[in-house]
Amino acid sequence: MSTFQHIKPAGKAQFKDRYTTKAAELLTPWEEGKKGDIAIIGAPLSKPSISHSGASFAPDAIRRCLNSFTTYNIERGTDLADDQKTIIDFGDISMHPTSIEESHQRIYESTKAATETNAAPFTIILGGDHSITTSTVKAIKETKGTVGIIQFDAHHDLRNTEDGGPTNGTPFRRLLEEGHLKGEHLIQIGIRNYANAKAYHDYAIEQGVTVYTMKDVRQQQMTKLIQKSLTQLDPQVDTIYLSVDMDVLDQAFAPGCPAIGPGGMHPDTLTEAVQTALQHQKVHTMDIVEIDPTLDIRDMTSRVASLLILNALTK
């Protein structure tokens, strides 16, 4: 008998249960011609963040957290592994070390290339800070046509670009100003008190953006709010994009966000929202942004992101 029988490859789990499949085992590196149920691509950029951010570490953390989940959905009685569900993983976009504009260009080009492969009917972009969304939406517009966006966020992200250039406070402003998005095609959900300037709420209303505050979220059923949003966007756009800024969650559930705050959403409400939206045939893309794993506590915030990926796979 070999004396090496108790040595395992470095980095592998201590324990393997013969009946348990870890969700991370569903990740399949992309190859030409390979098809899957959903696709993921990492956009590890956080240099344009207004506040200190290590969101560039999030794509790795979110993938790693898939090891904390099994593939079995007890409520549905289904198993993602038994159903042979796969997550096509395009890997991470390599960023320019100093040029934010060049990095944004690479995110645009890579998102376009990834979605043009038609490797999966649904694509998830893992940020990164929220500045990436201008680039990804531009790419989706070119591959799928007119884009409608449902944005989950504590903030409008409609800041002027004169003060700081293309920061994580500006993605939707830039999309509107550059003509890639119409105001009436943007629905913001979860906007929070004392987290935005009046000028940006005024700008949102002027542009025809639909704004639902946290009070709206508390008073209306999330399922109904999403159905109303989908009904509003459906006749006007070719594709619907979900932009999930994790700081929409209350600080109690999202300690890993640079802009945490009280009065936010419960993860179950966000999960319900995304789950409802995923049933719609025009919902093809989602981004998950603003998780800084270096600030997170026991990967609490990244785990919510991993759960959203699994829900997308259960669609």
Binding site for Ca ion (CB under 5 A): 130, 153, 155, 157, 245
Minimum CB separation of residue 2 from Ca ion in Å reads: 54
Could you give the CA distance from residue 267 to residue 5 in angstroms, rounded to a whole number? Answer: 43
155 vs 303 by CB, closer to Ca ion: 155
Say whether 238 counts as a known binding-site residue.
no
For residue 265, give the 3-state DSSP assignment. strand
Are 11 and 59 a contacting pair, CB within 8 Å? Answer: no
Q: Whole-number minimum distance, CB 175 to Ca ion, in Å?
A: 13
Tokens describing residue 6:
């108790």
User: Whole-number minimum distance, CB 55 to Ca ion, in Å?
Assistant: 11
How far apart are CB 33 and Ca ion at their closest, in Å? 36
Task: Between 130 and 144, name the residue whose CB sits nearer to Ca ion.
Answer: 130
Nearer to Ca ion by Cβ, of 120 and 140: the residue is 140
- Give the angle 77-276-181 at the CA atoms, nearest 5°: 145
**155 labeled binding residue:** yes
The rounded distance, in Å, linking the Cα atoms of 111 and 98 is: 20
Kindly state the smallest distance separating residue 289's Cβ from Ca ion, in Å: 7
As a whole number of angstroms, the distance between CA 43 and CA 91 comes to 9
What are the φ and ψ backbone dihedral angles of 60, each rounded to 5 degrees?
-65, -45
Radius of gyration of the chain (CA): 19
Pick 71 or 243: Cβ nearer Ca ion: 243
* Residue 60 annotated as part of some ligand binding site: no
Angle at CA 209, nearest 5°, toward 136 and 198?
Answer: 105
Outline where the chain has alpha helix (H).
Answer: 58-65, 100-116, 132-144, 171-177, 198-206, 214-219, 222-233, 267-278, 300-314
Which residue, 119 or 260, is less far from Ca ion as judged by CB? 260
Classify burial at 181, counting beta carbons within 10 Å of its beta carbon; exposed 0-12, middle 13-18, buried 19 or more. buried
Nearer of residues 59 and 190 to Ca ion, judged by Cβ: 190
CB of 127 to Ca ion, least distance (A): 10
Q: Is 130 annotated as a binding residue?
A: yes
Phi then psi dihedrals of residue 41, to 5 deg: -145, 135
Is 157 annotated as contributing to ligand binding? yes
Q: Residues within the annotated binding site for Mn(2+)?
A: 130, 153, 155, 157, 245, 247
